[in-house]
Amino acid sequence: MAAVDLSTHPGHLARRLQQAHHLLWNTMVSEEITSPQFAVLNALVAEPGLDQRTVGERVGLDRSTIAEVIARLTRRDLLDKVRDPQDGRRWLLRLTAEGLRTHKKLTVRTARMNQVFLAPLDADEQTVFFDLLRRVADAAEDLRDAARTVTAQGI
C-alpha cells in the first residue's frame, strides 16, 4: 500500500496551521491568555452583557469549553458575572477594567501576529484565504449541527 499525500488532506493542513498559530500566539501575544479566551474578551467588548451561552455561540465554543473559559477569566478578574434582572437564573457577563485593559493590549499584539502569520500571502490572497476559511468553517458548523441531530434521533 502506498502512502497518501497529506498535503491534500484538509485536517492535516488545518492541524499544521493550528500549530503555527499556537506557536505565534504564545510567542507574540500571550502565554497566559489563550486565543479562545481572547475571543471571549473580544465578544464582550463588542456586546457587553451577553450571557454565557450566547458568548459561546458567538465564538464557536461548546458548553463545557465556554464554561471553563468563563471560569478562568473570572478567576483572573478579567470579567464579572451579574444576575440578569429579567431572568434570575441567567448570568450576564461584563469585562472588568482589567479585562478591558487586557483586551486592548492583546488586540495590538494579535494584529502584529496576524501580519507575521499571513506574510506569505499578498493582500488579495489574504482576502481569498479568509473567504475560503469562513466557507469551510461555516460548513463544518452545519455538519456538526447535522451530526447532533442524527445522534439525537438515534440514527
**How do residues 33-65 score in pLDDT, each as one tens digit?**
999 999 999 999 999 999 999 999 999 999 999
Residue 59 lies in a domain: yes
Structural domain of 136: 121-155
What does the pLDDT read at residue 89? 86
Does one domain contain both 99 and 142? no
The C-alpha cell at 101 is 485593559
Proportion of the chain above pLDDT 70, given as a percent: 92
Instruction: Report the distance separating Cα 74 and Cα 81, nearest Å.
Output: 8
Does one domain contain both 115 and 49? yes
Does one domain contain both 58 and 76? yes
Residue 3 lies in a domain: no
User: Is pLDDT of 103 > 70?
Assistant: yes
Q: How confident is the model at residue 148 (pLDDT cuts 50, 70, 90)?
A: low
Residue 8 lies in a domain: no
At 80, the amino acid letter reads D
Does one domain contain both 80 and 134? no
Residue 4 lies in a domain: no
Out of 8-12, 73-77, 140-144, least confident range: 140-144
For the stretch 71-86, pLDDT in tens is 999 999 999 999 989 8
Q: How confident is the model at residue 102 (pLDDT cuts 50, 70, 90)?
A: very high
Looking up residue 71, the CATH number of its domain turns out to be 1.10.10.10
What does the pLDDT read at residue 150? 62
Instruction: Report the distance separating Cα 116 and Cα 1, nearest Å.
Output: 39
Does one domain contain both 133 and 87? no
Residue 73 · residue 41 · CB < 8 Å: yes
Does one domain contain both 47 and 97? yes
Does one domain contain both 27 and 84? yes
User: Is pLDDT of 145 > 90?
Assistant: no
Does one domain contain both 96 and 150? no
What does the pLDDT read at residue 153? 65
Q: What total number of domains does the chain contain?
A: 2
Residue 82 lies in a domain: yes
Does one domain contain both 44 and 115? yes
Distance of CA 74 to the CA centre of its chain: 17
Does one domain contain both 103 and 147? no
Does one domain contain both 114 and 134? no
Does one domain contain both 86 and 136? no
Instruction: Report the distance separating Cα 65 and Cα 37, nearest Å.
Output: 10
**What's the whole-number average pLDDT of the chain?**
92
